Amino acid sequence: MVILSKATSFFNGVPLIDLSKPDSMNLIVKACEEFGFFKVVNHDVPMEFISKLESEAIKFFSSPLPEKLKAGPADPFGYGNKQIGKKGDIGWVEYILVSTNSEFNYQKFASISSLNPENIRAAVNDYVTEVQKMACEVLEMLAEGLKIHQRNVFSKLLMDEKSDSVFRVNHYASCSEIDEFNGNNVIGFGEHTDPQIISVLRSNNTSGLQILLKDGDWMSVPPDENSFFVNVGDSLQVMTNGRFKSVKHRVLANSVKSRLSMIYFGGPPLSEKIAPLPSLMEGEDSSLYKEFTWFEYKKSAYKTRLADNRLILFEKIAAS
């Protein structure tokens, strides 16, 4: 298990976007250019949906390990414990990964005596519907801020009935449960970027999330259980021809409390071609990336380790 030296500095410069304010469009564009990351308030996601889903998640993760293992392995959907992906990445985390398709089969979770699969389905569907709506609002504001004629150029990919969006719940045990702790930071989820278009994160009031700044420093993000954090994904970086940056981030299990995070990953249909939008290029030869389908990129992402730069395989400069 990877252990890092103690770090206590917090990054208080997280861009704050109030979706109820008229100037939020320009602020979102600036945040995506400078950080690829920002916090959203006045998001209109009902607190009852958040609380309901969190309650179901806590019930699941509080269950005995043998019962939880029956809901796995995550192939890719289901329950996973410590092993992240197929390339040897390990973290102090257990998680649930499901499809956002309303018809997704939750019978894997029927093994948990304290849970009703239909209750989980209803909680996930209610929550994802509202978070997806917010994500689409953000993406449409980004398109407008970039002066793209088609305002739904990004959001339509999430709304497509074949959208390959997924939902993940991560649970990080408190450091008091880690024998190796001894005052250092233990990696909960290793450094990575998200391959999809956009990610929307909500966590309980427990620290651990860090983002990588341009100067190479890792900075901790103050937790806020009443807000959402939004990440630019690799696919959005490509579609904006590198104008928006997919932020590298990680999670440290460095708190005396357990951490529960819920992440909506907004992805396009598997057959969708991902390439820089013509309106964001100065000419045909100014594209920084080769065109690829989301299926191709997703497949390549699963073959790499978390910290690898997956986009380098599709950069035109790297190929020349």
Distance CA 85, CA 253 (A): 19
Distance CA 153, CA 275 (A): 12
* CA atoms lying within 13 Å on the CB side of residue 171: 19
Rg (CA), the chain: 19
The pLDDT score that the predictor gives to residue 9 is: 40
Distance CA 91, CA 188 (A): 5
For residue 114, pLDDT beyond 80: no
| DSSP reduced 3-state for 127 | helix
The pLDDT score that the predictor gives to residue 50 is: 96
**Of residues 121, 168, 259, 310, which has the active-site annotation?**
259
Higher per-residue pLDDT: 7 or 15: 15
259 is catalytic: yes
Residue 241: strand pairing partners: none
The pLDDT score that the predictor gives to residue 2 is: 42
Residues 181-196: pLDDT tens digits?
555 568 899 999 999 9
pLDDT band, residue 1 (cuts 50/70/90)? very low
Confirm if 231 and 36 have CB atoms less than 8 A apart. Answer: yes
State which amino acid sits at residue 297: Y
CATH number 2.60.120.330 given to 3-319: yes
Confirm if 132 and 100 have CB atoms less than 8 A apart. Answer: yes
Q: What are 86's two structure tokens?
A: 């197929």
Mean pLDDT calculated for residue range 299-318: 84
The pLDDT score that the predictor gives to residue 233 is: 97
pLDDT band, residue 11 (cuts 50/70/90)? low
Residues 62-101: pLDDT tens digits?
999 999 999 988 888 999 999 887 777 888 999 999 999 8
| DSSP reduced 3-state for 153 | coil
Q: Cis omega (within 30 of 0) on the bond before 66?
A: no
Distance CA 97, CA 304 (A): 19
